[in-house]
Structure 1
């Protein structure tokens, strides 16, 4: 007997160290979380190993048991998702997406065991759709890599749900909370995330996000493993390990990490623990390492505390974003929800409680709760993802012949006695035509029947459908063609219960852009990042813009950034010769699954591209680090005391992590930490994108005012002519006043004050330019010395402007020559009184050479063979 097939979406928490999978039952009244039939474990190690004999790829506990052996398994692959790299699995190289797809395929097979129990004689339940969770602070390449991995595992991906949002969904569903403001503190094995969420009638809004994609329980294990290693060295074991270059040493340290993880877990439930092990660990001299070492919670907490304390500033960053977006402060937080295995550590929970939870002795307002919520932290993300999957994915029914499928929206349980049932019919057989078709609904037990024509998109919606109370209601749907031929029949069940739980966090979309997307363009000859799509924008999102061709190139570069990190690079090649200023029409689109596409036109050429990740960034130089440190020190002087101390602590911890990564020769970690330092500096720097025009334009106008003032004064000095309406002291004071006011307004993000200062400077410049014009008209009355002084001054101004272009073009040779020309002009100026005609001759030679340099620079390739940036004239 042919059976109809029923597809219900599942929820997967793809974790760094452990993963979990869940699905809501057919009536949406409870959640089925997969448990290992033998061990009853609710999570599966995110570990993959290839058996060298059978060549079988093994995922989970058996793979985890192979840690410290050869061939070694792959673990923590989540940390390299989105990178252009590969990892070795036995005798083959796999991409991070391929490894993750193996883990996801294992999750699929596991939940299929549970879903099989839903099947009956008339219906077979299948698993082909999923919501997969990702850290809220993931970058676009990491999110896209996760989507690819899920598709490779055989899933239709409905959503890439933020892990904190999933945790909040479960908390609200379990506690039947429809409204509230929550801080979700998600400390997993490899990542840390924090989100501020607001639920209004069960629909979530993300107000603030922060985190660190390389901070988690794995790092704590490494710290404790190093402590264990040092204690064993003190017992004269040969364990001076070269982890980077010696595979055997790497295996030894992995075994130490496993032992350290056991110590961490044991001390999470007791104050003392004696580690005893006569394992297969041998030191470098081949001696077996017999371990009998006592540990106390206090001493272990002292080692862990600096790393755990790094999470707190991220929480304040998320709160600052929530305050900017919605006026939400810590005092508005109703509950602090914990997620992730690392929150099992008592110190983590205590630090969160002491810092954020209600305390009558605290000097500042705190959250309303007295304790963080510590329940199901290992599986809360998967449970929440299952709830979201049911609410947003609905149920898909295939008829027995698989000629059509019917998507039923919403969940399959309700407390109402009458419901609206909506969905969409899709023809699967190529010869089926649903044009002018209709659908008939019958409920035999109630004698109910209704039918309606299929609407646009072959959708339907029955209203005021009666249900039997406290029962499971079987609804039959028959689909007819326009000629009244029965095409297919499917059945759908809805349970009515007065105790039905509402789908908190339900069907409204939560897909959003964690970090703003900016395009690097050229403004006034300098690279500038223009924000196209703002942080926390709801997805899908699009942005249209017009830029301009820089001229003299057949290759354009359009680098996309999130904060200080380049996440994509669009390269448009083989362009025809186009004039400078040719419009570049540009559309950036980010879909619900965070896929980025770009399309546009340049002249007659149309381009459309799926963007690939850029090459991996190289570690910074010592000079770059030093310059960043100097910028940070300068910027912190403008912060108020409380924020300054928090920012300095966060910078210090990231800086220490960077130094440790450099010492251990871990380039990926070093780049990650340096990018965090860059982002921290950017977060306290004046926000360029929110104030127009950019700061460099403002400074240019100030410079023009000062140059004109100096020139007018120079003419007055040599000619003895006093310009009417000119008072040097008052003009200087006016320029200085407007410069200070403009700087302060820019720092404060006050567009009105900033514009007013700029307008005032424009007026001053125009006034000085008028005085300059009058002076030029009087030039015939000037002496030759005065003419020479005027000429040299104007050429020096021109030299400064050309030097700025040379700097932008990275032409050190021209920069050096311009310095030489300036020195020659200043030397010639000494002869103005004695031989002004010779001075004018030398100045003319300098002017001719400067124009030659300028012509080369203006018409040169901006970035050589790498291509040019498009130009933005917004300012």
Structure 2
């Protein structure tokens, strides 16, 4: 006989876990090895002796070996999921999903052994079905790669579940919580996710997500490892490392990271740790490196503080989204959940408590089983989806229980489906001893409901019998019914995830190709959209090119008669399910086409030359932009450029992720690499719409023109812009854009000067603008990443803290004191004083990355 209960798996960046919800629903079996360890390292290495892969602790044990030995360890492969780049594991070049499949195969094999140890000798414990979790911020390629990895390991994937949702499911189950709204703060080894999740009547809805696929405990370790490296350099060692180019440097860096990890873990339970390491490795000059020091928790916190503050910025963005969507801000959050091993860092708990939990309905965060709660929640959901299968291979029998086997009443409503049965099976019966508790006629694949009397014991053994036409027993399968309280479970996931990137269609407008967004970033899944378009030529084919952001993901080509009229309607339907799998259907002139849409893998920035070229392009783009438009770009690009330069030699993967963000920023403001006309059309339309809003707000003459003159002027701008765009006249296009931008700024200044400054409507608008400016600067200060260089970091951190205090004292407090009912003149003076302070703080913030740099302009 076999038993098949679906499992929940957390395929983590650093560690992975697997769990199974017991049919009694009183406990969850979590894999634990003979040493009591509940997690398995997500590590893979090559063993030259056996010519095979090592997975888990056996692989991680080789962490300190030189890469030149051919047995390099591969870790944090989750960060590369969805990419087509291959990683060498010994002689094998493997995709990230193939390495992940090896981890899952080993994890499932160990769990089978774990379950078999407690099972009856004649019972085979199967692990064949699973709910697998992914970070909330994974996009479509990453989700699909995770699914393929699970399937390659031999699993049937029941669902892909976002990690924060799984954590919320477990918290609801464990603490027997009713309806509520959770903010799930998930800081794992390699990724950070935050989700706002609402539970109503067992239905879970993801209201908002945010996060960073390249921020986690690994980054805390790398940050402190860089601090250790700089300290060793001060002590006279030669350690100018370049892990991208030198395998020996990569090994040195790996050992420093490992030491930083040990220090982090020790400081989670102690205020001070004494470090004494001898002969760690040889430096670049051949001298053996030793390190001895006492490190306090406060010192560690100061080094990693900015990374932790960055996670809070993500939380603020998620709360802003949930506020707009569902009116859920921090005050409406019932519970803040801490998830992930990195939430053991005391500084993390302190900052989350101060910034989030203290402002929620429950003043303290929930923090239990942070390493395993995602797998535990996935196991609960898997049990809900997959029930329990039992069967007998020899007798070709398999039966599924599709309802819980636990209840409190006199009877239990039992759902049973016979999936495979011996020939001649006509019915089934539930028996206890010699008596029959319930019976029903049944057919293969048919589900029946049985009212079964429930015994008074906690466990009530029973037999499920399949009977033939004459009433004789063909097969008997043992199982148990349980008396107890069925805990809360996820009855539905109506909005389990949201789209991470815009899905658009390339269209032709004014003779130029443009994007029309079909499913916008943040759209809840599952989602379906229908749009109408029209043919523009008689080429005999209709081409529909779908894009994810700016990358093509699918081209649908429909053959139509050559005499099809120009302007014939084209119907496009795009559907995206909970796992971000997309299907498209198009119809035109009676022709129809269906297609599966596969999202693209992002371009890789592996070579230093490509990264430097991107930085040059970003800086050139900034020089071509001016005014408020240029200021926005400069703020965003400067932060990314600074971080890329800090990481280029020590963290290639995270550097690659930041390069992709910078690429999108440049494309957004200046246009993509393939676009001839810059800035792009959508930016021109944004500036033009700003001008229209200012003009239509005006009650009289503005810049010497009345409403009619303005409408004529705007009409000329649109006509000139369309002519330049259609003719691909770059110089004329940029001139028109710059003139329009100048008109916006001039009109705005005149509008500002002509408004009565004690007008309540003006004061309300001014307050909203100044308040938003203050909030944005608060986020930018929290998001600012100080230099990794130990010599520069203290100065930048000190300046950041000074500006934060300045902002709080001179801006946030005066704004909070305005109640809207005070003297108008005093309110106006306060707002102008705050705005003046904000300008100075903004300028000082933009100068932080260049603190201490020299200039080539003297004072003579």
TM-score, normalisation: structure 1 = 0.72
Q: 2:405 aligns with which of 409, 412, 426?
A: 412
Does 2:59 align with 1:59? no
Contact residue 392 and residue 507 of structure 1 kept, 8 A: no
Contact residue 390 and residue 410 of structure 1 kept, 8 A: no
Aligned to 2:830: none
Does 2:800 align with 1:803? no
Aligned to 1:670: 658
State which drifts further: 524-533 or 190-199: 524-533
- Equivalent residues in 2 for 1:34-49 (5 A)? 34-37=31-34, 39-49=35-45
Q: 2:449 aligns with which of 461, 484, 488?
A: 461
User: How far apart, CA to CA, are the structure 1 residues paired with 2:121 and 2:284?
Assistant: 62
- Equivalent residues in 2 for 1:477-556 (5 A)? 477-479=464-466, 489=475, 491=477, 493-498=479-484, 500-506=485-491, 511-515=496-500, 517-522=502-507, 524-525=509-510, 526-532=513-519, 535=522, 537-539=524-526, 541-551=527-537, 556=543
Contact residue 427 and residue 441 of structure 2 kept, 8 A: yes
Unaligned runs of 5+ residues in structure 1 are: 359-365, 639-646, 683-692, 707-726, 740-760, 770-792, 820-875
Contact residue 455 and residue 483 of structure 2 kept, 8 A: no
User: How far apart, CA to CA, are the structure 2 residues paired with 1:449 and 1:67?
Assistant: 58
Contact residue 657 and residue 673 of structure 1 kept, 8 A: no
Structure 1 position 174, deviation (Å) = 1.4
Does 2:602 align with 1:616? yes
Aligned to 2:82: 82
Aligned to 1:571: 555
Distance 1:801 1:252, change over 3 A: same
User: How far apart, CA to CA, are the structure 2 residues paired with 1:665 and 1:181?
Assistant: 36
Q: Which secondary structure state, in structure 1, belongs to the residue aligned with residue 707 of structure 2?
A: helix
Does 2:302 align with 1:302? yes
- Equivalent residues in 2 for 1:382-397 (5 A)? 382-397=375-390
Structure 1 position 123, deviation (Å) = 3.6
Contact residue 519 and residue 560 of structure 1 kept, 8 A: yes
Distance 1:799 1:649, change over 3 A: closer
Distance 1:589 1:477, change over 3 A: farther
Contact residue 319 and residue 329 of structure 1 kept, 8 A: yes
Aligned to 2:438: 449
- Equivalent residues in 2 for 1:589-608 (5 A)? 589-603=575-589, 606-608=592-594
Structure 1 position 406, deviation (Å) = 2.3
Contact residue 45 and residue 59 of structure 2 kept, 8 A: yes
State which drifts further: 92-101 or 619-628: 619-628
- Equivalent residues in 2 for 1:245-256 (5 A)? 245-256=245-256
Unaligned runs of 5+ residues in structure 2 are: 606-610, 671-681, 738-860
Structure 1 position 333, deviation (Å) = 1.5
User: How far apart, CA to CA, are the structure 2 residues paired with 1:603 and 1:402?
Assistant: 55
User: How far apart, CA to CA, are the structure 1 residues paired with 2:398 and 2:265?
Assistant: 48
Structure 1 position 46, deviation (Å) = 0.8
User: How far apart, CA to CA, are the structure 2 residues paired with 1:797 and 1:354?
Assistant: 51
- Equivalent residues in 2 for 1:30-179 (5 A)? 30-37=27-34, 39-68=35-64, 69-70=66-67, 71=70, 72-120=72-120, 123-179=123-179
Structure 1 position 138, deviation (Å) = 0.7
User: How far apart, CA to CA, are the structure 1 residues paired with 2:640 and 2:61?
Assistant: 33
Aligned to 2:771: none
Structure 1 position 150, deviation (Å) = 0.4
Structure 1 position 237, deviation (Å) = 1.5
- Equivalent residues in 2 for 1:787-798 (5 A)? none
Q: Which secondary structure state, in structure 1, belongs to the residue aligned with residue 16 of structure 2?
A: strand
> Per-residue CA shift, 1:651-693, capped at 9, x if unaligned?
87656434434576945233344278689999xxxxxxxxxx9
Q: Which secondary structure state, in structure 1, belongs to the residue aligned with residue 230 of structure 2?
A: helix
User: How far apart, CA to CA, are the structure 1 residues paired with 2:356 and 2:329?
Assistant: 11
Aligned to 2:747: none
> Per-residue CA shift, 1:716-737, capped at 9, x if unaligned?
xxxxxxxxxxx9999952347x
Q: Which secondary structure state, in structure 2, belongs to the residue aligned with residue 79 of structure 1?
A: helix
Distance 1:443 1:649, change over 3 A: farther
Aligned to 2:330: 330
User: How far apart, CA to CA, are the structure 2 residues paired with 1:468 and 1:574?
Assistant: 64
User: How far apart, CA to CA, are the structure 2 residues paired with 1:492 and 1:701?
Assistant: 72
Aligned to 1:269: 269
Structure 1 position 101, deviation (Å) = 0.4
User: How far apart, CA to CA, are the structure 2 residues paired with 1:729 and 1:16?
Assistant: 58
User: How far apart, CA to CA, are the structure 2 residues paired with 1:729 and 1:348?
Assistant: 52
Contact residue 555 and residue 574 of structure 1 kept, 8 A: yes
User: How far apart, CA to CA, are the structure 1 residues paired with 2:472 and 2:494?
Assistant: 35
- Equivalent residues in 2 for 1:635-654 (5 A)? none
User: How far apart, CA to CA, are the structure 1 residues paired with 2:559 and 2:587?
Assistant: 11
Aligned to 2:758: none
User: How far apart, CA to CA, are the structure 2 residues paired with 1:817 and 1:212?
Assistant: 38
Distance 1:656 1:700, change over 3 A: closer
Contact residue 11 and residue 386 of structure 1 kept, 8 A: yes
Distance 1:508 1:495, change over 3 A: farther
TM-score, normalisation: structure 2 = 0.73
Does 2:21 align with 1:24? yes
Does 2:361 align with 1:368? yes
Aligned to 2:374: 381
User: How far apart, CA to CA, are the structure 2 residues paired with 1:310 and 1:816?
Assistant: 36
Aligned to 1:864: none
User: How far apart, CA to CA, are the structure 2 residues paired with 1:290 and 1:517?
Assistant: 51
Distance 1:45 1:625, change over 3 A: farther
Structure 1 position 279, deviation (Å) = 4.3
Q: 2:706 aligns with which of 733, 740, 746?
A: 733
Contact residue 244 and residue 649 of structure 2 kept, 8 A: no
Q: Which secondary structure state, in structure 2, belongs to the residue aligned with residue 310 of structure 1?
A: helix
Structure 1 position 277, deviation (Å) = 1.3
Q: Which secondary structure state, in structure 2, belongs to the residue aligned with residue 138 of structure 1?
A: coil
Contact residue 50 and residue 57 of structure 1 kept, 8 A: yes
User: How far apart, CA to CA, are the structure 1 residues paired with 2:121 and 2:234?
Assistant: 67
Aligned to 2:546: 559
Distance 1:127 1:121, change over 3 A: same
Aligned to 1:753: none
Contact residue 516 and residue 536 of structure 1 kept, 8 A: no
Contact residue 439 and residue 454 of structure 1 kept, 8 A: no
Aligned to 1:872: none
> Per-residue CA shift, 1:264-304, capped at 9, x if unaligned?
11222222222211245111122221221222222221110
Q: Which secondary structure state, in structure 1, belongs to the residue aligned with residue 37 of structure 2?
A: coil
> Per-residue CA shift, 1:749-804, capped at 9, x if unaligned?
xxxxxxxxxxxx7xx99xx99xxxxxxxxxxxxxxxxxxxxxxx9xx997653322
Q: Which secondary structure state, in structure 1, belongs to the residue aligned with residue 658 of structure 2?
A: helix
Structure 1 position 503, deviation (Å) = 3.6
Distance 1:247 1:448, change over 3 A: same
- Equivalent residues in 2 for 1:806-821 (5 A)? 806-807=727-728
User: How far apart, CA to CA, are the structure 1 residues paired with 2:146 and 2:195?
Assistant: 20
Does 2:459 align with 1:472? yes
Distance 1:401 1:225, change over 3 A: same
Distance 1:616 1:797, change over 3 A: closer
Aligned to 2:4: 7
User: How far apart, CA to CA, are the structure 2 residues paired with 1:630 and 1:798?
Assistant: 24
Structure 1 position 60, deviation (Å) = 1.0
Distance 1:735 1:182, change over 3 A: farther
Distance 1:390 1:609, change over 3 A: same
Contact residue 392 and residue 508 of structure 1 kept, 8 A: no
Q: Which secondary structure state, in structure 2, belongs to the residue aligned with residue 354 of structure 1?
A: helix
Structure 1 position 489, deviation (Å) = 3.7
- Considering only CA atoms, is the larger Rg found in Structure 1 or Structure 2? 1
User: How far apart, CA to CA, are the structure 2 residues paired with 1:424 and 1:634?
Assistant: 65
Structure 1 position 597, deviation (Å) = 2.7
CA RMSD of aligned residues (A): 4.1
